[in-house]
Amino acid sequence: MSDPGLAPPARRVLHYVDAALFGGSEQAALHLMAALDRSRWQPVLLYHPAPGIARLAKGAATAGIRTVGVPRVASGTSLPGIVRLVRAIRAEAPEIFHAHLSWPLACKHGVLGARLARVPAVVGTAQLYTTPGDLRQARFRLRGLRRIIAVSREVEERYLRDLGVPARRLAVVPNGIPVPPALHPPNPALRAELARGRPDCLVLTPARLHQQKGHAYLLAAAALVPGATFVLAGDGPLRAELEQRARELGVASRCLFLGERADVPDLLAAADLFLLPSLWEGLPLSVLEAMAAGRPVVATAIGGTDEAVTDGVTGLLVPPRDPAAIAAAIARLRDDPGLAERLAAAGRARVEREFSSRATAERIMRIYDAVASPVPRAAPG
């Protein structure tokens, strides 16, 4: 019999990621797991090992989070894969199964496995909304989730309107990041390497080279700001196409394609401003990271992003697909250092106040407490 004067033991939550590549959704999952109060909830990561997702497993291990790798459920031979998945879930005996959804049909095998394993509560974080090809299937799959945690009001609205998820099963909890106590010191050598002797501003865009991120409009804007150097950190399926487009526009010498980088904090410290010209988002971590780094932000006025950036207060918002507006915002910040400093300071203050990973984890744990089966509470000492 347990001592009523002792706090109850930590309960296990199994976080499931089914991605094959490491991106913003996976980084958000990692931030959340690392920030959980482990005296209350003990996280375990369940994932499918692949070269592109190794960064997630490594990050979890560094944070002291145990990882469980299970082969991916193959299409056409799903039954053996589902059986393996169910066995792995049962072996962990979690009280909560937490799926991280990069789109509405993500994690479908994991959610099914959790239900077959009779996990008491299954929840999911909806990081992004893209219209599924089969709305009926998506609605059916989502019924397996006790609670769907939308990272922004925009994502919540799409799940309500397009997928018919009842409001009682939805909650909005913004993404959070670990906010450093002080600004990252700049590296003059890195700045010189990126600037290549140019005296004008460095514009940083750390994002996957994918249609979603709007790089084509960045390149068109670069042609309108001849003094600026654009630093693109990230890789993706559009790299060759974007590099060719930069050559066609005559901006290739001022648009640096760095590929994947592990030193984004250093890049942010070296840059004069941050640009994210996305066409759609959930709540982009890169914007929060730029604000926390004290960089003035230029971003598109789209759902999710506009819940972190208030135009003229914590950054500048421009219409999507508008190179002229992007160029004008960059020139405005370059020509008005006082404005850039005010926006950067307000942005950092807002991230500290509203978007820290600790604040996000606390709100998520309240949801865990609400959906999990009750446990005896410790008697007051």
Q: Per-residue DSSP letters for 79-119? A: HHHHHHHHHHHHHH--SEEEEEESSTTTTHHHHHHHHHTT-
Both 130 and 251 in one domain: the answer is no
CATH of the domain at 345: 3.40.50.2000
One-letter-per-residue 3-state SS of 224-248: CCCCCEEEEEECCCCHHHHHHHHHH
Q: Which of 266, 194, 193 is nearest to 228 (CA)?
A: 194
Q: What would the DSSP string read from start to end of 18-33?
A: --SS--HHHHHHHHHH
Both 365 and 318 in one domain: the answer is no
Is there a domain that residue 376 lies in?
Answer: no
Is there a domain that residue 29 lies in?
Answer: yes
Both 153 and 37 in one domain: the answer is yes
Both 301 and 340 in one domain: the answer is yes
Is there a domain that residue 233 lies in?
Answer: yes
Residues 200/222, Cβ–Cβ less than 8 Å: no
Both 237 and 169 in one domain: the answer is no
Helices of type H across 170-306: 188-195, 215-222, 239-249, 264-270, 285-292
Report the C-alpha gap between 231 and 257 in whole angstroms.
7
Both 360 and 350 in one domain: the answer is no
Both 344 and 226 in one domain: the answer is yes
* pLDDT tens series, the chain, 381 aa: 455 556 678 999 999 999 999 989 999 999 999 999 999 999 999 999 999 999 999 999 999 999 999 999 987 667 889 999 999 999 999 999 999 999 999 999 999 999 999 999 999 999 999 888 888 888 988 998 999 999 999 999 999 999 999 999 999 999 999 999 999 999 999 999 999 887 789 999 999 999 999 999 999 999 999 989 999 999 999 999 999 999 999 999 999 999 999 899 999 999 999 999 999 999 999 999 999 999 999 999 999 999 999 999 999 999 999 999 999 999 999 999 999 999 999 999 999 999 999 999 999 999 999 999 776 444 444
Is there a domain that residue 183 lies in?
Answer: no
Both 200 and 160 in one domain: the answer is no
Both 30 and 142 in one domain: the answer is yes
Q: The sheet that has 255-259: what strands, in order across it?
A: 255-259, 229-233, 202-206, 273-276, 297-300, 316-318
Is there a domain that residue 274 lies in?
Answer: yes
Both 366 and 346 in one domain: the answer is no
Q: What count of other Cβ atoms lies within 10 Å of the Cβ of residue 137?
A: 13
Both 166 and 216 in one domain: the answer is no
Is there a domain that residue 5 lies in?
Answer: no
Segments forming the whole domain that contains residue 297: 188-354
Q: What is the dihedral sign for C-alpha 322, 324, 330, 335? A: negative
Is there a domain that residue 379 lies in?
Answer: no
Both 361 and 290 in one domain: the answer is no
Give me the number of domains the chain comprises. 2
